[in-house]
Amino acid sequence: MNIALIAHDKKKDDLIQFTTAYKSIFFEHTLYATGTTGLRISEATGLSIHRFQSGPLGGDQEIGAMIANDKMDAVFFFRDPLTAQPHEPDVSALMRLCDVYSIPLATNMGTAEVLIKGIEQGLVEWRELRTKKEGDENAK
């Protein structure tokens, strides 16, 4: 699975703690992240992460493009709801794309726990089955 990791500044430590706790699960997947978040997670965990620009510089939009092109399977976006974000329209657009394309999105630690356990147990494999089915139909 392709998994995106994003965190606002005040939530980066939480996402690092989370990815450290579930490192063995994340290790099994292809990881993408916005700039600083990806660097900090990689340094803390040793996980291989493809890094995009930082969020305000277009990283959110780069991940959004992957979602729109059906190349992202899950998004962990630890948002800070108490601090105004200068790139809030980009954040809203990313969340909207997750809804449009039915991409599981965890925006806090509680939901992230449920999503990562679901990934571990294979409960998100419907994305792979859907992609395979669409490929079969296109081959006809």
Tell me how far apart the alpha carbons of residues 10 and 109 are, in angstroms, rounded to a whole number: 13
Nearest-angstrom CA–CA distance, 105 and 53:
20
Residues with catalytic function: 60
Tokens of 82: 């108490």
Q: What is the pLDDT of residues 58-84, one digit of tens each?
A: 888 999 999 999 999 999 999 988 877
Checking phi first, is residue 84 left (phi over 0); if not, alpha (psi -120 to 50) or beta? beta
Is the pLDDT at 85 greater than 80? The verdict is: no
- Per residue in 29-40, pLDDT (tens digit) is 999 999 999 999
**Domains within the chain, CATH numbers bracketed:** 2-139 (3.40.50.1380)
